[in-house]
Amino acid sequence: MLVQKYKDMLSGKSVIRQLSEFAAQRGQEIGYENVFDYSLGNPSVPAPEEFTEVMIRMLKEREPRELHGYSPNPGIAHVRDAVAASLEKRFGIPYRREHIFMASGAAGALAHAFRLVTEPGDEILTFAPFFPEYHPYVDLTGAVLKVVPPDCEAFQINFNRFEEMLTPKVMAVLVNTPNNPSGVVYSEETLQRLGEILREKSAEYGHTIYLISDEPYREIVFDGAEAPCVSRFYNNTIMCYSFSKSLSLPGERIGYVAVHPECDGAEYMVPMCVQISRGTGHNCPPSIIQLAVAQVLDLTSDTSVYETNRSLLYNELTDLGFTCVKPGGTFYIFPRALEEDANVFCKKALKYDLVLVPGDTFGAPGFFRMAYCIDTEKVERSLPALRRFVEEEYKGRD
C-alpha cells in the first residue's frame, strides 16, 4: 500500500518550484532572457576559480579510491579538522574534529540536527518569515514545526509572541540568519536576547532547549559587515552550514553540522549523527567534494553581484513607493505588496513577465520575495517592467 502521508504531500507542491517551472515554460514562448524570473535561490555566480583548480588538480594527481571511495561516516578526518580550525579562527570557539559532522548541504545537516534533539510530537519553533522547506524537513521527523509570527517592521524576532509560544513542549528553536526570504541579518542585540530567554526557559523547564542555526548565507553579507555568529550567544547551539550558496555549489550537496563544544551532550552528538545517517540515507557525502571544499574553506564566490543587484532593486522599489527592509545579506528582498493579498499581486505581476513569490509561503502574508541571484543586466532590464506594472495596476492608489 502506498504511504498516505507522502501521497498527501503531492497536493502541497512548493510554490517556489511551481513559479520557477512557470518561468521556464514562459521562457520557451518568449525566450528565457525576457522572463524576469525572481523565483528560485539558485546562485548565479560561478564557484571561485580556486575551487575549479583544486578539482582539476585532484582529478589528475590523486588516487581514484581517495577521490571516489566511501568516506568515513562522520566525514573525512582531516576535512573535519580543517573545518574546526577555520571556525575556531573565525569565531573564537574551540571546535575540534569531534564536533564536526560532514553532511549533504544544509538540508542534510538540518535532518540530523532535528533528529538529535527531538522525539516525535516535540515542538520546534521557528520565526516567520521562514524557508518553507522547513515544513517537510521537520514534519517527516514526527516533530511539530510551530511558527512565531513576524516582526513586520524590521524582520528581527517578535519576542512577545516568541515568549508566549515557548512552552515546555519546545525542544528546539530554529533560526536562519542571514535570512531567506527577508535578507535580514539578526543583530547582536537580537541574538543576545534570544540566548538569555533560552537559558532562562531551559532552567525553568528543567530541560535544554537547543538552538539550531541554519547558516547557508553566513558569508553573503553586504556593506562590509559580518553576520554575528549565532553560536557565540548560546552554548547549546547546533550550527548547520552549507557550501551551496557561499561557494555556489548547491548541486554538490555538501555542508556540515558543527556542535558547540560546550553544548549539553556534545560528546554524543557527532556519533549520534552517524547513527542517524544510517537511517536517513544522508550518509557519506562525496569524498571528492569534501576534499575540495577543505582547501577553499575561507573563500567565497564573488558575491558583489548580489550586493549590486540588492542596491538596484532596493532603490527602485522604494522609489516606486514600496515599503521594504533593506537586506543586509543573502540574495533575497522581501517588500510589502501593493495590495493586501500578495497572491493576487504576484499573479498580476506575471502579466509583465515578473515572476515574484507571494509571502504566504514564508509565513508572512502581504509580502513577496524576489530572489535576485540573476545577472545584473537582467535586473536592469526588469526595472522598466516593474515600473510599468506598478503604474498600470496601482495608479491612483493612496
Ligand X SMILES: Cc1ncc(COP(=O)(O)O)c(C=O)c1O
Residues that bind ligand X in the complex, under the rule CB under 6 A: 41, 105-107, 131, 176, 180, 214, 216, 242, 244, 250, 255
Strands (E), the chain: 36-37, 100-103, 123-127, 144-148, 170-176, 210-214, 237-242, 255-259, 332-333, 354-355, 357-358, 368-371
Query: Distance between CA 301 and CA 56 in Å, rounded?
Result: 18
Rank residues 41 and 335 by Cβ distance to ligand X and give the closer one.
41
* Residue number of the CB atom closest to ligand X: 105
Number of H helices, E strands in the chain: 14, 12
Instruction: Count CA atoms within 13 Å of residue 164 on its CB side.
Output: 8
Task: Dihedral sign for Cα 241, 247, 250, 251, please.
Answer: negative
CB of 156 to ligand X, least distance (A): 16
Rank residues 48 and 250 by Cβ distance to ligand X and give the closer one.
250
CB of 195 to ligand X, least distance (A): 21
CB of 100 to ligand X, least distance (A): 16
CB of 272 to ligand X, least distance (A): 20
Rank residues 236 and 242 by Cβ distance to ligand X and give the closer one.
242
Q: Judging by beta carbons within 10 Å of its beta carbon (0-12, 13-18, 19+), is residue 42 exposed, middle or buried?
A: middle
CB of 216 to ligand X, least distance (A): 5
Query: Distance between CA 56 and CA 226 in Å, rounded?
Result: 32
Query: Using omega within 30 degrees of 0 as the cis cutoff, is the peptide bond preceding 181 cis?
Result: yes
Rank residues 202 and 280 by Cβ distance to ligand X and give the closer one.
280
Amino acid at 154: A
Rank residues 212 and 291 by Cβ distance to ligand X and give the closer one.
212
CB of 63 to ligand X, least distance (A): 28
CB of 104 to ligand X, least distance (A): 7
Rank residues 247 and 386 by Cβ distance to ligand X and give the closer one.
247
Rank residues 106 and 263 by Cβ distance to ligand X and give the closer one.
106
Amino acid at 350: L
Rank residues 84 and 107 by Cβ distance to ligand X and give the closer one.
107
Residue that is written with C-alpha cell 514526527 in the block: 142
Query: Distance between CA 250 and CA 33 in Å, rounded?
Result: 23
CB of 246 to ligand X, least distance (A): 10
CB of 177 to ligand X, least distance (A): 9
Inter-residue contact 263 to 235 (CB < 8 Å): yes
Q: Judging by beta carbons within 10 Å of its beta carbon (0-12, 13-18, 19+), is residue 264 exposed, middle or buried?
A: middle
Cα 86 to chain centroid, rounded = 21
Residue that is written with C-alpha cell 575540534 in the block: 96
3-state helix, strand, coil in the chain (%, to 5): 45, 15, 40
CB of 395 to ligand X, least distance (A): 35
Rank residues 316 and 359 by Cβ distance to ligand X and give the closer one.
359
**Angstrom distances, CA of residue 107 to CA of 47, 227, 256, 264:** 20, 21, 10, 23
Rank residues 195 and 216 by Cβ distance to ligand X and give the closer one.
216
Rank residues 255 and 329 by Cβ distance to ligand X and give the closer one.
255
Task: Give the closest residue to 386 by CA, choosing from 344, 351, 342, 339.
Answer: 351
CB of 12 to ligand X, least distance (A): 18
Cα 253 to chain centroid, rounded = 14
